[in-house]
Amino acid sequence: LASELGGRAGDYFAATTLNYQQDDISHHMVRELTWLRKDDRSALRTLIAGDYVATSGGVRPSTVVLGGISLTKNFAMTPYYSTAPSLDLQGVATSPSEAEVYVNGYRVSRERLAPGEFTLQNIPAQTGYGMAEVVITDAYGREQVISENYYIAQQLLRKGLNEYNHSIGFLREDFSEKSFSYGDPVLISSFRRGLSDQHTLGYALNMTQNHVDVSPGAALRLGNAGVLGIGVGLSRNGGKSGIGGAFDYIFQSRLFNSSFSVKGFSEDYATLTLKADDNKPAFQLDAVVGVTAREYGSVSFKYTAARYHHTPDMLGYGFFYNRALGRRWHMFLTANRTQEQGQASSYDMFLGLNLSLGGNVSGNLGYTRTDSGYRRDASVQKQVSAGHGPGFLAEYQDMDGDSSWRGEASYHSGYGTYEARYQDNGNYLLSAAGGVGYIDHALFFNRPFNDSFAKVDVGVPDVRVYYFGNEVAATDARGVAILPDIHAFHDNKIDIAAADIPLDYKIATLTAYLNPPYRSGSLIHFDVSRVRGIIGRLVMEQQGVLVPVEHGEMEVSQGDQIYQGMIGRGGEFYIENLPTGGHSAEVLYQSGRCQAWLDVPGTDDVLVDIGEVRCMAK
């Protein structure tokens, strides 16, 4: 039984995860991770104190669980910002002009230009090699075209941009088995800086009492011909020194891509998780070449050669092909052959077909062939929607004549997720998961919260709520709905259905945008209020005769709220949403000012006629 307890107060989020385990011999509760996190969105910096998963950089990355403190440059807090060098285009406009920007033949933006030199910055473009064009049309209809080839590499950082991850703490031992088991102190530090838009340098450093490894590295853009990465690793572990290195080259474009990687490590090279006596490649080469054509699909070839310190050398080839067959079918084909020194070669081949059946339902057919046998698969599945609803999976498998099947059914409700699995051998699994939240001084039950959540307050029951255009919930009897899956740091679009709002209600807006912090709860209030119109006839006594007060305005003040109404011909007036009770109204009309007293009865009628009202001259 796994559980998580967390809460947010201001900029701080704290949580702990627990796991209850039981078998035939014993049962016990284990604390897994406990942490406090603070995000600084202005500096794009995340501070974590407690338990966390840390990943070191370098030529051979390591992943460990630590108890300590971590400081990270977190670009995930601004997902719409690209850390890679941007595509910028310069030119000169001789008169007021309009510029249309095209990337690989697709228009991506339109700008108005003033006469003189201009720079178009941060043009949205695909990663890799491409062509950008600016078509400039001046006030006289004359066109000028500026073309430029570009290469955008995600391996590089923009000039002057820093990326870092620094951690200090103690290694967690016997994780998920013991609650408080910590080992040696450890330091993990990595840093990268964009020296220019073509060069990025960095390092990775990992240290314990008996171990240290450091890996300086660089990424270089070779003009429009791709990106080169170089790294060297030096280690000292238990009195033994080791060295390693990695060299890679990547080129990407819409039609062609290739990668080439060489790495190798001495026998005694070590990291936080790779021991000096573990098997590792003394030399390994990986090369991939691929071609993509819109009409014919994508095909790629892979070659691998490796020489290990403790195991036989290995040689491998691979072939991959995929293609869309119309709007609903998609085909996949892979074939691999592997040869180990002193052993017979082995191979495997896979052919798969995927069919989209609509409504989140898809089917799959697959055939796998190896040197030892075959396997045939067929399945149909329905993905659970983002809101409430069912999902299922039915799968049949035939392996060398031995057939089997299994089925799964799941359901998402407003109170949890439920799943049942069954196999033809009699094994089955039943599971349920849910979450308990607290926001706006109220507890609620819902599905598990894997990210942020939102409480939508409409004030009207049975109103459908949409998340990015998909119906995900409906308001309850209190006019409230909970959205349990909101993406932190993203602009989340939330709508309510206008057709579900009664005609006697006023709607200020149907759409709200929310960009919440990490693992947070947000309150979204839609200004939907019931309209109750107050009508009557405003008169004034003049020389003993009651005459209408015409063509003016009235205003009622109640605390911070101001209600305004209109007065027309014959003294007929209209004002909205006055609370029940008596109210003093200031009246401004064509001949002067006066004051009236409005008695509003307690009624649910949409239109309330309070009859004749006298206005006293001021």
| pLDDT for the residue 294 | 84
Strand partners, 307: 283
- Number of domains comprising the chain: 3
Question: Which tokens belong to 207?
Answer: 């240290």
Residue 560 lies in a domain: yes
Residue 559 has pLDDT above 90, yes or no: no
Q: 253: which DSSP letter?
A: B
Coil, strand or helix at 74: coil
Lowest mean pLDDT among 21-35, 283-297, 454-468, 574-588: 21-35
Q: Are strands 417-423 and 182-194 parallel, antiparallel or unpaired?
A: unpaired
- Looking at residue 484, which CATH number applies to its domain? 2.60.40.2610
At 373, the amino acid letter reads: G
At residue 1, the pLDDT reads 84
| Residue 453 lies in domain | 436-529
CA separation (Å) from 482 to 379, 455, 606? Answer: 33, 5, 30
Please state whether 153 falls in left (phi above 0), alpha (psi between -120 and 50) or beta.
Answer: beta
pLDDT of residue 407: 96
The three-class DSSP label of residue 189 is strand
Under 8 Å between Cβ of 406 and 424: yes
Is 26 a residue whose pLDDT tops 80?
no
Q: Are residues 443 and 508 in the same domain?
A: yes
Among 529, 560, 587, the domain boundary falls at 529
Mean pLDDT, range 220-242, rounded to an integer: 95
Q: What is the pLDDT of residue 21?
A: 81
Contact at 8 Å (CB) between 201 and 190?
no
- Quick check: 391 and 409 in contact, CB under 8 A? yes
The amino acid occupying position 307 is R
| pLDDT for position 23 | 74
Contacts 24+ apart (CB under 8 A), 291-300: 291/255, 291/256, 292/254, 292/255, 292/256, 292/257, 293/255, 296/323, 297/321, 297/322, 297/323, 297/324, 297/331, 298/322, 298/323, 300/257
293: in domain: no
The CATH number of the domain holding residue 132 is 2.60.40.3110
Distance CA 267, CA 278 (A): 8
1 falls within a domain: no
112 token code pair: 């108005």
What does the chain come to in residues?
618
Predicted local confidence at residue 504, as pLDDT: 84
Q: Provide the whole-model pTM.
A: 0.83
3-state secondary structure of 500: helix
CATH number at residue 573: 2.60.40.2070
Q: Tell me the β-bridge partners of 567.
A: 552, 573
pLDDT range class, residue 511, cuts 50, 70, 90: very high
According to DSSP, residue 76 is labeled G
Q: Is the pLDDT of residue 24 over 90?
A: no
> How many H helices and E strands in the chain?
0, 48
Q: pLDDT by residue (tens digit) across 329-347?
A: 999 999 999 999 888 889 9
Mean pLDDT of all residues belonging to the chain: 93
Within-domain flag for 245? no
Those residues with Cβ within 8 angstroms of residue 262's Cβ, 6 or more apart along the chain or in another chain: 246, 247, 248, 283, 284, 285
State whether 443 and 496 are in the same domain: yes
Based on the fold, state whether residues 473 and 506 are members of the same structural domain: yes
Same domain, 482 and 544: no
Q: Could you tell me how far CA 230 lies from the centroid of its own chain?
A: 31
pLDDT score recorded for residue 433: 93
Give the H or E element holding residue 299.
strand 297-308
CA 14 to centroid of chain Cα atoms: 21
In a domain, 246, yes or no: no
Among 587, 588, 580, CA closest to 610: 580
| DSSP states along 547-603 | EE--SEEEEEEETTEEEEEEE-GGGEEEEE-PPSEEEEEEEEETTEEEEEEEEE---
Residue ending a domain, among 104, 128, 152, is: 152
Report whether 138 contacts 97 (CB < 8 A).
Answer: yes
Which residue do the tokens 């004051």 mark? Answer: 595
Residue where one domain finishes, among candidates 126, 152, 178: 152
| 38 within domain boundaries | no
Cα–Cα distance, 5 to 321 (Å, whole number) = 46
Confirm whether 258 is domain-assigned: no
3-state helix, strand, coil in the chain (%, to 5): 0, 65, 30
Q: 455 and 516 share a domain?
A: yes
Residue 458 resides in a domain: yes
Torsion of CA 169, 174, 180, 182, to 10 degrees: -30
pLDDT recorded at residue 225: 95
**pLDDT tens track for 397-433:** 999 999 999 999 999 998 899 999 999 888 999 999 9
For residue 174, what are the CA distances in angstroms to 68, 167, 179?
Answer: 17, 20, 8
